[in-house]
Amino acid sequence: MIDTHCHLDMSPFEADRGDVLSRAFKSDIEHIITVGADPQSMLTAVGIATTYPQVFAAVGIHPHEARLANPMLLELLESLIRDKQGNKIVALGEIGLDYHYNHSLPAVQREVFEKMLSMALQYHMPVIIHNRQADEDTKAIVKASGMKDVLFHCFSSDDAMAKWAIDKGFYVSFAGNVTFKKAQSLRDIASWIPDELLMIETDAPFLAPEPMRGKRNEPSYLQHTARVIAEARGVTYEDINRITSVNAKIFFGIGDLPPSEIVYKIRDNLYINLTSRCTNACEFCVKFDSDFVKGHNLRLDREPSEEEIIQAIGDPKAYSEVVFCGLGEPTLRLEAIKRVAQWVKSQGGRVRLNTNGLGNVINERDIVPELVGLVDALSISLNAQDAETYNRLCNPNFKDAFEEVLDFIKKAVQTIGDVTLTVVETEGVDIAKCRDIANRYKAGFRVRKLDSVG
């Protein structure tokens, strides 16, 4: 994991900072972002980052300290982000507004916030934003600045603010307060933030998570926050580690991103990434925006051989299902599906195929009988209630594609039996009519949110 926000410079860490970092790196922590928020803490944070290879720094003027932002301090801040101290300074922050305490006058906070956003744009630095009881002014200032690389740290606002942030493509980070017993509304928000915009942090030494509440917080406690968020999202602890680490590496430009994967685990299922090719170009397909699904890099350099896939699977019985999925349409490699599925079944595994339902057109024959005994279940992307909507959303290569999908569904239900139709909740899709189609064909039905993949 990456602790995207803590304050290692602060006095609670002076006596045992080395031990704190040792505990962090012996746990699941890969990198730490330590954040300076006033003249002395900025310099201390940079010093810590240059001392420890796994630590990086962010520098900025906290809204509490906005009253101190004289020309000399602004010049110091600018010199730090301009030089970046051997690329150890990776963001400008934390900056923003705090109307809860008002240690600096709101007008002063706004002025300093605007100046620092302008500075971040000038030097192409991402920003870490502190926002407390200042949603409307924060939104107005960020929007006016044109800033794109934004992380809202220690999120504590409401649904409306979270939706605004993700609509803008901004990252949202959760700290230990998401674990507090009375923080159900915050956990609810954490449950639906898109994977690709989610991060986690400690904000140490503050906000120690349950069950450490009341103690000094430290980076090694991040595991408790990760577990609570994993539970809220219905994924595993390992999934949260992977997802948030990839996001932090992309946002801060640190560490190495994972290489492409031909098999990848989500929850208790193992997915097989056969191909990146597809006969559709769906408007909502993740591959047009990202290489990653739940922190797994699925952008293949080449299509794996059947032998490589079998070797990568290991023991199929270790998973609830082995699923043919990935960024592309698996039935473009029908023979690979058949051989690998046959091997999985011979080892006692269960097989599911996720498909766009155009396998018969792709292979120029009815392939459903060939899947009998090899595939236990099918998930078929219906995606629309009629041909016009399907063609607009999915941009298929084939004429009469929607009718072909319906024909494939009919045959699959009759032959395989365990079939689920899926649709993406997006503009123009009539969920009720799609459900009627599933009922007509006696298939299962599942709705996927537009920003939810995997």
pLDDT at 163 over 80: yes
DSSP-derived pairing of the beta strands 321-324 and 296-297: unpaired
The length of the chain is 454
Class of the CATH-defined domain 2-252: alpha beta
CB 200 within 8 A of CB 244: yes
Preceding peptide of 369 cis, ω within 30°: no
Q: Whole-angstrom Cα distance, residue 417 to residue 400?
A: 24
Share of residues in the chain with pLDDT > 90 (%):
95
pLDDT given for residue 325 in this prediction: 93
Given pLDDT bands bounded at 50, 70 and 90, which one contains residue 145? very high
Given pLDDT bands bounded at 50, 70 and 90, which one contains residue 210? very high
Average model confidence (pLDDT) across the chain:
96
Query: What's the whole-model pTM score?
Result: 0.92
pLDDT given for residue 4 in this prediction: 98
CATH 3.20.20.70 positions along the chain are: 263-449
CATH 3.20.20.140 positions along the chain are: 2-252
pLDDT given for residue 454 in this prediction: 78
* 303 closest CA partner among 282, 328, 280, 323: 328
CB 58 within 8 A of CB 92: yes
Name the β-bridge partners of 36: 59
Single-letter amino acid code for the residue at 30: E
Q: Cα-atom radius of gyration of the chain, to the nearest Å?
A: 25
Q: Whole-angstrom Cα distance, residue 76 to residue 43?
A: 10
Given pLDDT bands bounded at 50, 70 and 90, which one contains residue 72? very high
pLDDT at 452 over 80: no
Given pLDDT bands bounded at 50, 70 and 90, which one contains residue 453? confident
Burial tier of 435 (Cβ tally within 10 Å: 0-12, 13-18, 19+) = middle
Burial tier of 43 (Cβ tally within 10 Å: 0-12, 13-18, 19+) = middle
Q: Which CATH superfamily is domain 263-449 in?
A: Aldolase class I (3.20.20.70)
pLDDT given for residue 10 in this prediction: 96
Q: What is the pLDDT of residues 281-323, one digit of tens each?
A: 999 998 888 999 999 999 999 999 999 999 999 999 999 999 9
Q: Whole-angstrom Cα distance, residue 200 to residue 224?
A: 11
Q: What is the pLDDT of residues 79-103, one digit of tens each?
A: 999 998 889 999 999 999 999 988 9
Single-letter amino acid code for the residue at 449: K
pLDDT at 327 over 80: yes
Given pLDDT bands bounded at 50, 70 and 90, which one contains residue 156? very high
Q: What is the pLDDT of residues 329-344, one digit of tens each?
A: 999 999 999 999 999 9
Q: What is the pLDDT of residues 241-274, one digit of tens each?
A: 999 999 999 999 999 999 999 999 999 999 999 9
